[in-house]
Structure 1
Amino acid sequence: MNAVELKQANYTVNHAGAFSDFGNVTEGKLKGKIFLKAALSLTSMEVSLNNLPPGGEVPFYHKHLENEELYIFLKGQGRIQVDGEELDVFEGSSVRIARDGTRALRNTSASEDLHFIVVQAKENSLAQWAETDGVILEQPVAWEKVAE
């Protein structure tokens, strides 16, 4: 399901499928999680695509040795717990958690999956970002014509 679709010198493409189909996938300790590090040959971050079923939860607390995590919620509703404090999350919520933050997550819906993306990167390692790292090229953008 998580096979590399296309690998070129400057990009790799993976089509993991619909979040709603992740329920039977098991990568790591939980069902519903797909890691993209190997599939995309990632070198500076770990990214996972996640589907937590109605009433589901991460049944353990965890923290990280070096990586902060960014949770980006795409669909559903839940609660994330960080250092004992519980926060509501829903579509459009983003939560950054420092490496030492003790965390757990649950889906509070009785009928809807909770879809989210988690990005991990080494804490305090970001030295450049879009406005300081991006270079706008003078080359005009050209798209291939798509048949209608």
Structure 2
Amino acid sequence: MSANQLNYSVSNAGAFSDFASVTEGMLKGKIFLKDGLQLTSMEVSLNHLPPKGEVPFYHKHQQNEELYIFLQGQGRIQVDGNEVDVHEGTSIRIAPDGVRALRNTSATQGLHFIVIQAKENSLTQWVETDGIILDQPVEWITRSSCLK
């Protein structure tokens, strides 16, 4: 479900544990947010690998680096022949030419993670150089008038 407004877009993909039956693209358990949120500077996917599941191929990118942010579970990611254990709280950035694959090493728990792709070396501004703090008090509207 998504809702788009002038200055923002909202999407609710549901619980990661429910992604096992979702198929977008080549893999089960992956939801891309680019179209639903009308993203223009990155691709984001929400991912679930079932117990003992794996990405069954190596891949790399032409221009995009990837940031993997692990939220739950445990696994191993392989980059250029090196293996790294991953679990809740692990983040790993992979350059476009990094040849990668991923697997869930748990026999009982899903591996839940977010992948953000953006063009390598394209970040020219970030929160400290791009953010503008406005001189106005924060006010909250009542719950009944919020977007649902």
Whether the TM-score (by the shorter chain) exceeds 0.5 is: yes
Partner in structure 1 of residue 124 of structure 2: 127
Distance in 2 of aligned mates of 1:25 and 1:144: 35
Partner in structure 2 of residue 77 of structure 1: 74
Residue 44, structure 1, aligned to residue 41, structure 2: yes
SS at match of 1:74: strand
Instruction: Measure how far apart 1:143 and its partner are.
Output: 1.1
Partner in structure 2 of residue 142 of structure 1: 139
Instruction: Measure how far apart 1:30 and its partner are.
Output: 0.4
> Which segments of 5 or more consecutive residues in structure 2 lack a partner in the other structure?
none
TM-score by length of 2: 0.95
SS at match of 1:117: strand
- Identity value in percent: 73
Partner in structure 1 of residue 110 of structure 2: 113
Distance in 2 of aligned mates of 1:83 and 1:146: 49
Which among 94, 98, 116 is matched to residue 97 of structure 1?
94
Amino acid at match of 2:103: R
Instruction: Measure how far apart 1:70 and its partner are.
Output: 0.1
Residue 57, structure 1, aligned to residue 49, structure 2: no
> Which segments of 5 or more consecutive residues in structure 1 lack a partner in the other structure?
none
Amino acid at match of 1:142: E
Instruction: Measure how far apart 1:11 and its partner are.
Output: 0.5
Amino acid at match of 1:87: V
Query: 4+ residue runs of structure 1 moved beyond 6 angstroms?
Result: none
TM-score by length of 1: 0.95
Instruction: Measure how far apart 1:146 and its partner are.
Output: 4.8
SS at match of 2:134: coil
